[in-house]
């Protein structure tokens, strides 16, 4: 069937397949076509779909040679013919309708097949076949707008373009020096087709661009393929770009200018036309970028041979008639022909020109760039089209505005960017004004462009003497105001984001994050003037949302402001620093002077006030500027305490981390503010107290702060937010550490006792959440006990710790421990263990042997009953603290044996895949034994069972990330102990007990190697590949280093080869791959631990190969 008649047949009414149409596989080319049709048809039954899939999989083998007896079915030339001209028997198949879905499937298979087989010596496609793909592809898979065509046409065209490029630009021929000719022929075929098109009758001109676009798609793909294949070989790239005799540059330029000549004949720029021009621009830009990169090499001078950029062509006035690339695009994106250009065409043209500018870094293009900037002023380039998008109802107007602003950003980043900033080019002002207007655009994606492109931050990098005067401080004052306006919560009646319909939460967060960076950079120029703007134009306004936005901006600047005012610089900036200090302190006093007014504020406004106090705590405390500000510290602490008292108590507290929710939480921000204030006050008070006189301001205000500590600590626990209470506890602990030594013990008791009493059921009936908040508070207080005890002979927490320990023991005895604990009870149990862990970590010397034994016994009882991971975590802390004591080795060995036996029994009666958290906790405990009590681990009576359990968990955890990683890390450390940096005493322990490890690796080595290799080949997630490779390295190293094992290298090789020969792996691995793995693996192992990273890289690449992410020839590079 001829191509023309087949094209006519394609547009006949579609033929649908019956629901149960029987699909018969026949050993012909038609059956292959029918298989693709069956997979693409929604009416194919599942049974026939499976048959079709199997048939295509069987057919998708390597290309055959003419002499291998397979026949022509699998030969490359016939394959191309088959795709472009399907056999006649396929006319009656399910495919022949207006849908190229089956053809797309076969094209994708062809591309994948080429990638697998193109290094084969006999795979030598002829240039005529590539020419045929280009010619037929251009006519068949591009259709005029409005004409009924296949929904897959564009995808088929892209797939065919990849096929043509993959055939012509191949690594094997490039490395042999023959790739230059093949690549040149590909580009020449594409350009020749375009030149042939230019000779067609003008009556066909409206159809031409659709078919002319495909060759440029091929040219673009060829550049990408060449860049990927020769990224590290500039000599090969040079040979391609200069072959033959430098004609590649002339060839591409000729094709591009023919494209422009054709567009001039058409006269308009409809959607198909702009698609054609954009493809040509992008393709030419890619080749130009490849060539320009070679200018930096020392190979030879390429000044007259490389492909000039589009900007260079314009500068050299290479044109036909009145048109060059730039003049055509500028005309379409300005007020000259704007009415003829659809919005979508404008977006595509702007995006394409942005890519051209990004690929044209040559300073030789400056005149063309200057011409572009001047066109902004002379013909309204960019600005006129952008103006039309502002009030447009067109659905793509926003996309056009984004593309135009990005193009404007590219101009600022170009080699003439400095001249634009200096105002030396006519057109600079409307260009900057357009970007400023875009920054205030109400459309979120448009306003983000100057921020995401970093225009304002980059502008700040220019010294003032290199900027136009209009881009000095006044410009950035206006910009800062617009940025803060853009971060407002627009609804004055705002309650929560869940109820907000007119503003998107994620967009608002993104706008604030990006605006903060610009504000910080602006502060280094504006200093006090920026703070004054924020205070006067935002914070002091009556509307809460405007005030909140101003406080947010001040908080974003706090680090930069505090750093600035704390410097001891010259008198030149003394006035600015003094005004800054005065403004910040006065604002804090204004916002907190009226407690009744403060509590009536909108919650977000009140949270913003707390954030402001936290950010500027170093200024609000201490004596910056020579003024003692400690009285304000006392007043602010009292203010925060009063606010906490009046806030409604929480019944539940979220532990999920969400920065935006934290910013909006009054409780948490009050807690953070209290922490910052008390920490800053402690630093100042510690130094000032040494020289302060009784009755002085610092002593009086310090007394007020100290007296408030118990109250603010208790109320923070009672509000019910664990994060807020923990923050306050940290601040209180830091303040407690600077209280005079003689008063510190009494002060500590006054703070701890109310918190302890809050959990006493005889005094108070707290909720489970309240109990956990109190436990967490105590944990944070104990965390800083070393600081609290600094400078004291007797620890001030001696009696308090006894009370805490007794409380935890009592709570454990009263807890309802079972295997099916409620979430609340389990969370409380975790909090109790958490507090005990902190005591063990912070003050191990305080614990007597009796207390340690009781703690371990109680924890084991909990574990045996509940099998919870938190109990194992508690035991791990004790191993870390006490496992190194010689008198504890036997006891800890018995403990590990008991835990191992208990876990084995438990996992036999429960599905292991549902117990991954328990498995993770257990093997993290085992790693603690390895690090801190290796003798207890290696002498454990259940050591062999432990090793067996580890391999079982690797298999039965089904690749769950955290548990699998815990097992792999433990096994890797255990077997690879020789490669770790451990002390001599620890090394001698492993040497004495290494026989135990050796027996386990001999018994389970094959199983473990199989688990690791099979996990790499397919059953494991990519994040665990390094751990599996590490475990395999440790296993093989342990066997090779075992001097007691005869023929250990032969044993090792046999083990790996046995696993690789498994039928499940062998079908996907060629013999070459197996030999590469075997040879390289043992060469790297023989070179020791210095090659461990390369060993892991080898097996990670093996995993990529098995997952289709790497080609076989890439793995062969290890043989080089």
Q: Where is pLDDT greater, at 16 or 392?
A: 392
Q: Which pLDDT belongs to residue 557?
A: 96
Choose between 258 and 890: higher pLDDT: 890
3-state SS assignment for residue 396? coil
- pLDDT at 983 > cutoff 90: no
Q: Is pLDDT above 60 for 1010?
A: yes
DSSP state of 63: P
Q: What is the pLDDT of residues 755-794, one digit of tens each?
A: 888 776 655 556 788 888 889 999 998 988 888 887 777 7
> Are 378 and 425 spatial neighbours (Cβ–Cβ below 8 Å)?
no
Distance between CA atoms of residues 414 and 356, nearest Å: 11
Averaged pLDDT score across all residues of the chain: 79
The CA distance from 1110 to 1009, in Å, is: 23
1070-1075-1077 Cα angle (round to 5): 100
Largest Cα separation within the chain, whole Å, is 109
Please, what's the b/e burial string for 1031-1064 (b: 16 or more CB within 10 A of its CB; e: otherwise)? Answer: bbbbbbbbbbbbeebeebeebbeebbeebbeeee
Q: Phi, psi at residue 686, to the nearest 5°?
A: -60, -40
**Count of Cβ atoms closer than 10 Å to residue 374 Cβ:** 15
Which position has the higher pLDDT, 3 or 1098? 1098
Q: How confident is the model at residue 301 (pLDDT cuts 50, 70, 90)?
A: very low
Question: C-alpha distances in angstroms, 972 versus 75, 771, 975, 1010?
Answer: 49, 41, 5, 15
Tell me the C-alpha distance between 584 and 1063, whole Å: 74
The residue-averaged pLDDT of 834-846 equals 87
Indicate whether 621 pLDDT > 70.
yes
Length of the chain: 1120
pLDDT at 18: 37
pLDDT-derived band of residue 1119, with 50, 70 and 90 as boundaries? low
Place of tokens 């947010």: 552
User: Where does the pLDDT of residue 176 fall: very low under 50, low under 70, confident under 90, or very high at 90 and above?
Assistant: very low
Q: Are 510 and 660 in contact (CB under 8 A)?
A: no
Query: What average pLDDT does the segment 118-125 reach?
Result: 56
CA nearest to 923, candidates 945, 900, 906, 942:
900
DSSP 529-592: HHHHHHIIIIITSSSHHHHHHHHHHHHHHHHHHHHHHTS---GGGHHHHHHHHHHHHHHHHHHH
Q: What is the mean pLDDT of residues 1067-1086?
A: 83
For the chain, percent of residues with pLDDT exceeding 90: 33
Q: What is the 3-state secondary structure (H, E, C) of 273-306?
A: HHHHHHHHHHHHHHHHHHHHHHHHCCCCCCCCCC
Instruction: Name the phi and psi angles at 922, rounded to 5.
Output: -65, -45
Give per-residue pLDDT as tens, 34-71: 787 787 777 788 888 888 877 776 665 554 444 444 44
Tens of pLDDT along 797-809? 888 888 888 888 8
**Is the distance from CB of 449 to CB of 400 less than 8 angstroms?**
no
The whole-number pLDDT of residue 345 equals 74
Q: What is the pLDDT averaged over residues 618-636? A: 83
pLDDT of residue 438: 95
pTM: 0.78
- Give the pair of three-digit tokens for residue 717: 């626990």
Answer with the residue of higher pLDDT: 686 or 854: 854
CB 560 within 8 A of CB 520: yes
Confidence class of residue 128 from pLDDT cuts 50, 70 and 90?
Answer: low
Contact 454, 500 (CB under 8 A): no
Determine the Cα–Cα distance for residues 676 and 669; give it in Å rounded to an integer: 10
Distance CA(420)–CA(409), nearest Å, equals 11
Strand partners, 320: 323
C-alpha–C-alpha distance, residues 472 and 529, integer Å: 13
The answer, yes or no, to whether residue 83 has pLDDT greater than 90, is: no
In three-state secondary structure terms, 1092 is helix
pLDDT for 526 equals 94
Which has more pLDDT, 993 or 141? 993
Do 802 and 750 meet the contact criterion of CB atoms below 8 Å apart? no
CA atoms within 13 A on the CB side of 441: 27
Q: Tell me the pLDDT tens digit for each residue of 656-666.
A: 556 667 777 88
> How far is the C-alpha of 274 from the C-alpha of 279, rounded, in Å?
8
Q: How far apart are CA 782 and CA 804, in angstroms?
A: 10
Within 8 A by CB and 6+ apart from 848, the residues are none
Interval 595-616 mean pLDDT? 90
pLDDT of residue 174: 53
More confident residue, 884 or 306: 884
pLDDT in tens, 214-245: 777 888 888 887 777 655 456 666 666 665 54
- The pLDDT, as a whole number, for residue 559 is 94
Residue 946: how many CB atoms within 10 A of its CB? 24
Share of the chain above pLDDT 70, in %: 77
Alpha carbon dihedral 468, 473, 477, 478, in 10-degree steps, equals -20
Q: What's the confidence (pLDDT) of residue 125?
A: 57
Contact between 1032 and 1060 under an 8 Å Cβ cutoff? The reply is no
3-class DSSP assignment, residue 791 = coil
Mean pLDDT over 553-568 rounds to 91
Q: List alpha helices for 867-983, DSSP H.
A: 869-882, 889-908, 916-932, 934-938, 943-956, 961-975
Could you tell me the CA-to-CA distances from 1084 to 1050, 1074, 1098 in Å, in that order? Answer: 16, 15, 10
C-alpha span between 458 and 441 (Å, rounded): 21
pLDDT (mean) for 884-898 = 91
Q: Is 320 strand, coil or helix?
A: strand
- pLDDT for residue 146 is more than 80: no
Q: What's the burial of 915, exposed, middle or buried (CB within 10 Å: 0-12/13-18/19+)?
A: buried
Q: Per-residue pLDDT for 975 more than 90?
A: yes
| Cα separation, 872 vs 860, whole angstroms | 8
* Rounded CA separation 31/26 (Å): 5
DSSP at 323 = B
Predicted pLDDT of residue 799: 84
Q: How confident is the model at residue 934 (pLDDT cuts 50, 70, 90)?
A: very high
Model pLDDT, residue 231:
55
Query: Distances in Å between the alpha carbon of 1056 and those of 763, 1004, 1053, 1074, 1111?
Result: 67, 13, 5, 10, 22
Q: Which two tokens stand for residue 1099?
A: 């097996």
Please report the pLDDT score of residue 206 as a whole number: 46
Predicted confidence (pLDDT) at residue 584 exceeds the cutoff of 80: yes
Q: Please name the residues in contact with 490: beta carbons below 8 A apart, sequence gap of 6 or more.
A: 502, 503, 545
| pLDDT tens digit sequence for 413-433 | 998 999 999 999 999 999 999
73-77, 225-229, 408-412, 581-585: range with lowest mean pLDDT = 73-77
Question: Any idea which residue has 């498995």 for tokens?
Answer: 919
pLDDT in tens, 1021-1052: 889 999 999 999 999 999 998 877 778 888 88
Return the bridge partners of 323, or none. 320
Per-residue model confidence as pLDDT tens digits over 182-192: 677 777 777 77
Nearest to 710 by CA among 747, 764, 759: 747
The answer to whether 1083 touches 1052, Cβ cutoff 8 Å, is no
Cis omega (within 30 of 0) for bond into 244: yes
pLDDT at site 678: 93
- pLDDT tens track for 335-362: 554 444 567 778 888 888 888 888 776 6
C-alpha radius of gyration, the chain, whole number:
37
Q: How far apart are CA 714 and CA 728, in angstroms?
A: 10
Q: Find, among 377, 320, 331, the residue nearest to 195 by Cα.
A: 320
Query: For residues 553 and 558, what is the distance between their CA atoms, to the nearest angstrom?
Result: 9
Measured in degrees and rounded to the nearest 5, phi and psi for residue 323 equal -115, 135
């Amino acid at each position: 069937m001829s191509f023309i008649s087949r094209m006519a047949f394609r547009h006949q009414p579609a033929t649908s397949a019956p629901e149960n149409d029987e699909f018969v596989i026949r050993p012909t080319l038609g059956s292959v076509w029918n298989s693709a049709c069956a997979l693409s048809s929604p009416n194919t039954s599942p049974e026939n779909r499976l048959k079709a899939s199997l048939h295509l999989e069987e057919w998708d083998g390597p290309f055959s040679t003419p002499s291998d007896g397979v026949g022509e079915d699998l030969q490359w030339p016939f394959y191309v013919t088959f795709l472009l001209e399907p056999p006649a028997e396929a006319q009656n198949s399910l495919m022949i309708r207006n849908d190229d879905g089956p053809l797309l499937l076969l094209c994708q298979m062809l591309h994948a097949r080429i990638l697998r087989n193109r290094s084969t010596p006999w795979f030598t496609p002829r240039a005529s076949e590539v020419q045929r793909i280009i010619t037929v592809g251009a006519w068949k898979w591009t259709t005029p707008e409005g004409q009924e065509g296949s929904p897959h046409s564009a995808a088929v065209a892209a797939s065919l373009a990849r096929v043509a490029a993959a055939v012509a630009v191949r690594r094997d021929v490039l490395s042999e020096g023959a790739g230059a000719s093949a690549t040149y022929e590909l580009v020449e075929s594409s350009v020749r087709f375009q030149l042939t098109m230019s000779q067609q009758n003008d009556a066909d001109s409206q159809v031409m661009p659709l078919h002319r676009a495909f060759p440029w798609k091929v040219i673009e793909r060829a550049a990408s393929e060449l860049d990927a294949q020769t990224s590290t070989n500039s000599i090969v790239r040079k040979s391609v770009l200069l072959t033959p005799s430098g004609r590649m540059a002339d060839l591409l330029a000729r094709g591009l200018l023919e494209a422009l000549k054709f567009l001039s004949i058409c006269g308009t720029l409809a959607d198909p036309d702009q698609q054609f021009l954009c493809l040509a621009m992008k393709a030419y830009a890619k080749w130009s970028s490849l060539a320009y990169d070679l200018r930096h090499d020392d190979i030879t001078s390429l000044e007259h041979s490389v492909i000039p950029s589009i900007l260079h062509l314009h500068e050299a006035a290479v044109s036909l008639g009145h048109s060059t690339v730039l003049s055509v695009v500028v005309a379409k994106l300005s007020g000259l022909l704007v009415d003829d250009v659809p919005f979508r065409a404008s977006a595509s043209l702007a995006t394409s020109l942005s890519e051209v500018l990004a690929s044209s870094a040559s300073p030789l293009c400056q005149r063309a760039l200057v011409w572009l900037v001047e066109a902004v002023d002379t013909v309204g380039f960019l600005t006129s089209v952008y103006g039309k998008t502002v009030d447009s109802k067109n659905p793509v107007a926003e996309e056009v505005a984004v593309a135009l602003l990005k193009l404007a950003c590219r101009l600022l980043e170009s080699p003439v960017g400095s001249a634009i900033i200096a105002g030396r080019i006519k057109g600079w002002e409307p260009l900057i004004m357009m970007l400023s207007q875009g920054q205030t655009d109400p459309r979120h994606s448009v306003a983000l462009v100057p921020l995401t492109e970093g225009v304002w931050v980059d502008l700040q990098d220019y010294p003032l003497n290199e900027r136009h005067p209009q881009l000095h401080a006044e410009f950035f004052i206006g910009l800062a105001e617009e940025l803060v306006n853009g971060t407002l919560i627009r609804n004055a009646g705002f309650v929560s984001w869940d109820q907000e319909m007119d503003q998107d939460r994620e967009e608002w967060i993104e706008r604030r994050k990006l605006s903060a960076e610009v504000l910080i950079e602006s502060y280094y120029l504006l200093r006090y003037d920026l703070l004054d703007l924020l205070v006067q134009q935002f914070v002091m306004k009556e509307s809460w949302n405007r005030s909140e936005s101003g406080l947010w901006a001040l908080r974003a600047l706090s680090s930069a402001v505090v750093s600035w005012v704390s410097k001891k610089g010259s008198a030149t900036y003394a006035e600015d620093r003094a005004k800054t200090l005065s403004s910040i302190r006065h604002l804090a006093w204004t916002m907190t002077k009226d407690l009744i007014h403060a509590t009536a504020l909108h919650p977000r406004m009140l949270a913003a006030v707390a954030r402001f106090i936290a950010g500027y705590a170093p200024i609000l405390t201490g004596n910056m500027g020579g003024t003692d500000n400690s009285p304000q510290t006392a007043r602010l602490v009292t203010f925060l305490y009063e606010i906490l008292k009046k806030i409604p108590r929480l019944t539940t507290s979220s532990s999920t981390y969400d920065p935006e929710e934290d910013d909006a939480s009054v409780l948490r921000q009050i807690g953070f503010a209290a922490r910052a204030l008390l920490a800053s006050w402690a630093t100042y008070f510690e130094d000032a107290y040494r020289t302060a006189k009784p009755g002085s301001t610092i002593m009086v205000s310090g007394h007020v702060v100290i007296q408030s500590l118990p109250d603010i600590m208790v109320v923070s626990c009672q509000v019910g937010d664990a994060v807020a209470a923990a923050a306050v506890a940290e601040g209180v602990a830091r303040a407690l550490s600077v209280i005079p030594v003689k008063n510190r013990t009494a002060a500590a008791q006054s703070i701890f006792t109310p918190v302890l009493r809050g959990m006493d059921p005889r005094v108070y009936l707290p909720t489970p959440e309240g109990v956990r908040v109190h436990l967490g508070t105590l944990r944070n207080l104990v965390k800083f006990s070393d600081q609290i005890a600094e400078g004291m002979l007797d620890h001030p927490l001696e009696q308090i710790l006894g009370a805490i320990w007794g409380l935890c023991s009592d709570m454990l005895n009263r807890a309802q421990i079972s295997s099916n604990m409620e979430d609340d009870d389990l969370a409380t149990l975790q909090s109790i263990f958490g507090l005990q862990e902190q005591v063990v970590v912070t003050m191990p010397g305080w614990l007597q042997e009796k207390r340690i034994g009781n703690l371990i016994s109680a924890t084991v009882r909990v574990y045996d009953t509940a099998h919870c991971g938190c109990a194992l975590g508690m035991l791990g802390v004790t191993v870390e603290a006490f496992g190194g004591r010689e008198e504890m080795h036997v006891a800890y060995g018995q403990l590990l044996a008991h835990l191992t036996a208990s876990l084995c029994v438990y996992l036999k009666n429960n599905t292991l895949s549902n117990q991954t958290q328990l498995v993770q906790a257990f093997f993290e405990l085992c790693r603690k034994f390895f690090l801190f009590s290796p003798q207890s681990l290696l002498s454990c009576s259940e050591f062999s069972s432990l090793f067996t359990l580890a391999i079982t968990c690797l298999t039965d955890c089904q690749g769950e990330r955290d548990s699998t990683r815990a097992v792999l890390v433990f096994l890797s450390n255990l077997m690879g102990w020789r490669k770790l940096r451990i002390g001599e005493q620890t090394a001698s322990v492993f040497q004495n007990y290494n026989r135990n490890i050796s027996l386990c690796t001999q018994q389970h080595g094959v199983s473990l190697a199989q688990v690791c290799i099979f996990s790499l080949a397919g059953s494991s997630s990519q994040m665990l590949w390094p751990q599996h490779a590490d475990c395999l390295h440790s296993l093989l190293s342990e066997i090779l280093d075992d001097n007691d094992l005869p023929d250990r290298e032969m044993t090792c090789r046999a083990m790996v080869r046995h696993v690789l020969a498994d039928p499940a792996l062998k079908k996907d691995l060629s013999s070459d791959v197996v030999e590469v793995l075997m040879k390289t693996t043992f060469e790297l192992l023989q070179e020791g631990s210095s090659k461990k990273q390369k060993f892991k890289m080898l097996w990670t690449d093996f995993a990529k190969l098995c997952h289709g992410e790497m080609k076989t020839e890439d793995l062969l590079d290890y043989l080089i």
